[in-house]
Amino acid sequence: QIVVLNCEAAEGNNPASLVNRNSRLQASGEKSTLKLKVKKTGTTIAGVIFKDGVALGADTRATSGEVVADKNCSKTHYITPNIYCCGAGTAADTEKTTDMLRSNLALQILSMGRNPRLIMASRILQDFLFRHKGQISAMLLLGGVDCTGPHIFTVGMALSTKLHFDFTSIVGSGHLPALAVFEDRFKPNMTEDDAKLLVRDAISAGIMNDLGSGSNVDLCVIRKNGTECIRPFESSNYKCERQGKYKYPEGTTTIVKEQTINLDLVEETVQQMEVAQ
């Protein structure tokens, strides 16, 4: 039996051929390095450009599989005074990747004597992720204001970089509800207050419609003359309260068998603990 591991060249790089390729691999039982399972990142991260700057938003729930590992984690990372980054994916990968970017741009600031441009930060991230060929699980949303104005970049582990001129939400489990809010209510040249409310509502839509996103809403507003990080901008209104009593009366569980064993003391020793003088 011959198993074709790479048939894109023969059949074309289209979804139908890839589905057929995966079906043949599964039917053959061939153990290969191809991962056929889809992994979703439990995150809602969004950003919007308003008249004088950029507003970034993120939820605060960190998940480990089906378990909520942290209810109040920070997904907004400081890069430079004029650039901030929100990350989705594996927490360790996003943390170390943003640390690398921050240290590189700190050297650039010392060398040039001015704040760097966002395109520079985007290229550094793109080159770094390309060298690792998708092994680093980090989807990053760069936002900030430089000498050319406010910008938003998305850099993904699929080696893609895109410049957005209005709004965006990076690929996470809650990005579709957030994009729906943006597409319905976004207006060019919005005021800062309107942009804050729009990002808040977009993140809240992801929280309400996705199990992987939750808890509070964090905001980061980047202007030409300064930056403001609001954590939390809005706290969760959903408090978990017990609906019933979990203390059961004695005798609720039936005793099937009862046995009592008396233990005799055979030997008793006392050991004195050494105490430092």
- pLDDT at residue 196, as a whole number: 94
Domain ranges of the chain: 1-37, 45-234
Has residue 30 got a pLDDT over 80? no
* Res. 132 pLDDT band, cuts 50 70 90: confident
Kindly state the average pLDDT of the residues 93-114. Answer: 92
Quick one: pLDDT at residue 208? Answer: 87
Q: Is the pTM of this model over 0.85?
A: no
Is residue 141 predicted with pLDDT exceeding 70? yes
Are 54 and 152 within 8 A, CB to CB?
Answer: yes
The proportion of the chain whose per-residue pLDDT surpasses 90, expressed as a percent, equals: 39
- 3: number of Cβ within 10 Å: 12
Tokens describing residue 27: 């039917």
Query: Smallest Cα–Cα separation from 109: which of 149, 79, 86, 84?
Result: 79
Q: What is the CATH number of domain 45-234?
A: 3.60.20.10
* DSSP SS3 for 65: coil
Look at residue 68 in the predicted model and tell me its pLDDT.
85
* Count of C-beta atoms within a 10 Å radius of residue 193: 9
- Show which residues are catalytic: 43
Work out the average pLDDT over 122-137: 88
Burial of residue 65 (CB within 10 Å: 0-12, 13-18, 19+) is exposed
pLDDT for 9 equals: 41
pLDDT tens digit string along 54-63? 999 999 988 8
Q: What is the mean pLDDT of the chain?
A: 83
What pLDDT shows up at residue 264? 84
When pLDDT is averaged across residues 18-35 and rounded to a whole number, the result is 67
DSSP calls for 177-232 = HHHHHHHHH--TT--HHHHHHHHHHHHHHHHHH-TT--S-EEEEEEETTEEEEEEE
